[in-house]
Structure 1
Amino acid sequence: MMNCHDATFLLSQSRERTLSFSERMKLRLHVGMCRGCANFERQLPRLGDAAKAYASSPEQKDV
Structure 2
Amino acid sequence: MLNCHDATFVMSQGRERALSFSERMKLRLHVAMCSGCANFGRQLKHLGAAAKALAAPRPKDEM
TM-score tier, shorter chain, comes to 0.7 to 0.9
Deviations 1:5-57 (A, max 9, x none): 10000001111111111100000000000000000000011000000111125
User: 1:38: which partner in 2?
Assistant: 38
Partner Cα separation in structure 1 for residue 50 and residue 14 of structure 2: 18
Question: Which residue number in structure 1 is paired with residue 8 of structure 2?
Answer: 8
CA distance in 2, matches of 1:28, 1:41: 11
Query: Which structure: larger Rg?
Result: 2
Percent identity over the alignment is 74
CA distance in 1, matches of 2:32, 2:57: 36
| 4+ aligned runs moved over 2 Å, structure 1 | none
State the number of aligned residues: 58
TM-score, scaled relative to structure 1:
0.86
Root-mean-square deviation (CA), in Å? 1.0
Q: What is the distance in 1 between the residues matched to 2:49 and 2:19?
A: 21
Structure 1 SS opposite 2:38: helix
Task: Flag structure 1 segments of 5+ consecutive residues without an equivalent.
Answer: 59-63
Which sections of structure 2, spanning at least 5 residues, go unmatched? 59-63
